[in-house]
Amino acid sequence: MKRQDGRTPGALRPVRIVPNFVETAAGSALIEMGRTRVICAASVEESVPRWMKEQKVSGGWVTAEYSMLPYSTAPRKAREMSRGYPEGRTQEIQRLIGRAMRAVVDLEKLGARTLWVDCDVLQADGGTRTAAITGGYVALALAVRKLRRDGALGESPLKTSVAAVSVGVDRGRVLLDLCYEEDARAEVDMNVVMTGDGRLVEVQASGEEATFTAEQMQTMLRLAARGIRRLSRLQQAALRHA
């Protein structure tokens, strides 16, 4: 049975990655997954966080910030700066993005600098955190490329690539890359972060007033891995054409 947008259960939404979308950033990309659109931009700061200096931790750091622009959803979403602090969901997502990026970076080879990956959601239709990770890696890789081109890095600190996708159980069917309507009614929701060589970075899974079996979880992981292999190919294609 096909889904409301005509996809089969194991199909990704149409994906487009536009590299170098923001001229002022060291690296950037616009990623579109269906109607979800996220701008990801990587910036270089030639210093490390204070805690690294105080604890005499060598190497560099990679971190992320995430935000949903007011017009990314209907009705309008108020800017979080207007309330003076980011909401819990935002903090959770930007920590997830940061962990995903650090998983594929050799921080010693990066040197004593910080790479910031900013992810701004232009339009949200489900899967914004996973799109941010997938696009964020492209922005990060382009920033590393620029550092090497400028002579600031002798060798690349990137160990492999990283991408992410959502998967879930909706009305008994295991589905890949859920849009908002599917995500909102899903019995089980899972976000999977995986490297380009097939190793898991993080799995976030929960039953929404439901339970799920180990067999269902394995099915979801296999489907997510297949989707991430496709996303990894699209990332590499975007980097080749940047």
Residue 183 lies in a domain: yes
Q: How confident is the model at residue 230 (pLDDT cuts 50, 70, 90)?
A: very high
Cα Dmax for the chain = 58
Residue 7 lies in a domain: no
Residue 6 lies in a domain: no
Residue 200 lies in a domain: yes
Residue 161 lies in a domain: yes
Number of domains in the chain: 1
Buried b (16+ CB within 10 A) or exposed e, 31-52: bbbbebbbbbbbbbeeebeeeb
The pLDDT tens digits of the residues spanning 5-40 come to: 899 999 999 999 999 999 999 999 999 999 999 999
The pLDDT tens digits of the residues spanning 156-208 come to: 999 999 999 999 999 889 999 999 999 999 999 999 999 999 999 999 999 97
The pLDDT tens digits of the residues spanning 163-175 come to: 999 999 998 899 9
Residue 4 lies in a domain: no
| pLDDT for the residue 87 | 81
Please state the pTM of the whole predicted model.
0.95
Residue 66 sits in a domain whose CATH number is 3.30.230.70
Residue 1 lies in a domain: no
Find the domain containing 217 and state its range.
15-240
Residue 220 lies in a domain: yes
